[in-house]
Structure 1
Amino acid sequence: MTDTEQQLKLVDESPISPVERRNSLEAHLKHRPERSELVDKNILPASTAAPGLQAHQKELEKHMLEDKLNDKISHRPDPEDLIKEGVLHDDPRTVAQDEAAKKYKEAIEDEYAKREGGA
């Protein structure tokens, strides 16, 4: 027998009386965790908005954060200004381009070496 067949045989399929079912439900509800505990465990959101509005609230918060970050980025000084002020020594855009060109050249050389049976 496979594990799933054994597990299926272990399931108790005997009927349960309505009284036992009600008692079982009441026992589980007595031990139900508080809302604050569920919020602490990130099971429930901390929002007090209606459940139907929580998705819209989360989407709104996301868009507000996006707008805030875009505003900050738009007011960010150019690298040329930072070089003039002495904050930067080299333009990071040219350094990144130089590094990318170097990595590309190394990758091409590695590929040629592999094809020739070298590396």
Structure 2
Amino acid sequence: MIVTPEYNHSFPGTLKNALDRVYAEWNDKAAGLVSYGVDGRVRAVEALRPVLGALQLADVSAQVTLNLRTDFADFGASFTPGEHQGPALATLLDQLVSWSSALARTRGNPS
């Protein structure tokens, strides 16, 4: 699971650096994506998807996008997700478990 803010229509450089530093450890694994920000939020995830592909990570299609205006009280002071976030997270986690199980076989793990 990767959680990222959206900065200037993308993900932060520190996340890119962290991903690049452990390239081999990411190979043949699944990734679920959660993003947050003021507007949009999906742009960070969409910018991140090709990077994950280059790292041989299989990102699942479901994602959770959190808006600082609606999912956080007092513009970020406390986390108060909307009711729609529960089902979105459940779908994301279901896909992540399914892909993780399937990819474990490619790494030589039986389950």
Give the structure with higher Rg (CA): 1
Would you call these one fold, judging by a TM-score over 0.5? Answer: no
Structure 1 or 2: more strand by fraction: 2
Structure 1 or 2: more helix by fraction: 1
Q: Per chain length, whose mean CA-contact separation is higher, i.e. which structure has more relative contact order (CA < 8 Å, sep 6+)?
A: 2
TM-score, length-normalised on structure 1? 0.25
